Amino acid sequence: MDDSTNKASLREPCVPGLFSEEGEPSLHGARCTCCDTPYFPRVAACRNPGCDESRIVPCTFGGEGRLWSYSVADFPPPPPHRYDKPFMPYAIGVVDLDSGLRVVGQMVDAVEFMQVGSRVRLVIEPIHHEDGRTFTSWKFKLLDR
């Protein structure tokens, strides 16, 4: 890795407003109070066709969940996605959080440890380093290891 990956670098979210790492890591989404449908990212109106009335309120999601499915990224993602070189394959998980949200995110652990049904926890981790800054995003870490 190059000099920009040092631990003294400034941490910045890859997309401001989608998540926070203050206290417990959390995703900033919404929930319809009429039908209880969760959304991430936030939406202006409920998209559930069975909902009689759209009442969207801000909601945060985090904590633990279960790995519902996963796929392996064996090749570098195209721009504008950035990553530290050299590229290392990683798992992308579909996670059912205990709070009811199903969300996609990169897995922290090595591909060989992935197992559908494993317990995971939301974490905020680096996705790439550039110009002395560490860009972060939400990811999931296995708890069953």
113 is a domain residue? yes
118 is a domain residue? yes
Domain containing residue 130 = 13-142
99 is a domain residue? yes
**CA 97 remoteness from chain centre:** 11
127 is a domain residue? yes
7 is a domain residue? no
* Domain count within the chain: 1
Per residue of the chain (145 residues), give pLDDT as tens.
Answer: 444 444 557 999 999 999 999 899 999 999 999 999 999 999 999 999 999 999 999 999 999 999 999 999 999 988 888 899 999 999 999 999 999 999 999 999 999 999 999 999 999 999 999 999 999 999 999 997 7
**CA 128 remoteness from chain centre:** 15
Name which of 97, 40, 101 is nearest 67 in CA terms. 97
Task: List C-alpha distances in Å: 21 to 61, 63, 72, 125.
Answer: 12, 12, 26, 9
